[in-house]
Amino acid sequence: MPEPESLPPLPAHAPVPRAATAAAPARRRLQLAWLATVVLAVPAAAVGWAMALAAAGLPARPPATLGALAWMVVLVPLLEECAFRGGLQPLLARQAALAGRSWAGVTAANALTSVAFAALHLVNRSPAQALAVLPASLLFGRACEDAGGRLWAPVALHAWSNACLAAALHLAAR
């Protein structure tokens, strides 16, 4: 092993490795894709959901009070995401049989957590309505994974989704 004195000095501004510069545009595209999903797709999905409920003759009532709206937009996302993305999904991800398994970019832990999430919605929704929650749940799970397991991303996305749904239900009820 060479002596520390024999090592050449490092330049003041070392060049950024090529791999790091090549990854930057891909990371930026991913960030833009998430932004487009949040800004465009979530409200469109909420409107579609409200229209489908109305077409099927299923009860689709917007929150009637400010407290009900706060429950739907703040507390439900916080509680559900803490339980599912903060509890169940990491627990499943640590299981040896599921670790590293994914299909079409969806991890096994996210898929199983999303099935459980949709099943929870059977408590107060029809089977079709509970099944319709599955794509949103997969999106919330992916947001959690992309945020390194931090819950702010799925909670914010879930809250935005519920707010868009509340607005769509309000407009459909007119």
Q: What pLDDT is recorded for position 154?
A: 93
> In this model, does residue 68 exceed pLDDT 80?
yes
- What domain range is 140 assigned to? 33-172
- Alpha carbon of 126 to those of 48, 62, 133, 152: distances in Å? 17, 17, 11, 29
Residue 57 is classified by DSSP as T
CA distance 86 to 144: 9
> In this model, does residue 58 exceed pLDDT 80?
no
Average the pLDDT over 53-82 and give the result. Answer: 84
Q: What pLDDT is recorded for position 14?
A: 45
Greater pLDDT, 145 or 4: 145
Work out the pLDDT band at 16, boundaries 50, 70, 90. Answer: very low
Q: What pLDDT is recorded for position 128?
A: 82
Greater pLDDT, 100 or 49: 100
Q: What pLDDT is recorded for position 44?
A: 75
Question: Beta-carbon neighbour count of residue 81 at 10 Å?
Answer: 26
- For 114-139, the pLDDT digits (tens) are 999 999 999 988 888 888 889 899 99
The answer to whether position 15 is within a domain reads no
Of the listed ranges 59-68, 73-82, 145-154, the one predicted with least confidence: 59-68
Pure H helices in the chain: 18-36, 42-56, 66-70, 76-83, 89-93, 108-120, 127-132, 134-146, 152-172
- For 157-173, the pLDDT digits (tens) are 999 989 988 888 888 77
> In this model, does residue 145 exceed pLDDT 70?
yes
Q: What pLDDT is recorded for position 85?
A: 96
The answer to whether position 22 is within a domain reads no
The answer to whether position 128 is within a domain reads yes
Q: Are 51 and 165 in contact (CB under 8 A)?
A: no
Determine the residue type at 14: A
For the chain, the domain total comes to: 1
> In this model, does residue 4 exceed pLDDT 70?
no
The answer to whether position 94 is within a domain reads yes
The answer to whether position 11 is within a domain reads no
Q: What pLDDT is recorded for position 21?
A: 52
> In this model, does residue 146 exceed pLDDT 80?
yes
The answer to whether position 12 is within a domain reads no
The answer to whether position 146 is within a domain reads yes
Q: What pLDDT is recorded for position 141?
A: 94
The answer to whether position 14 is within a domain reads no
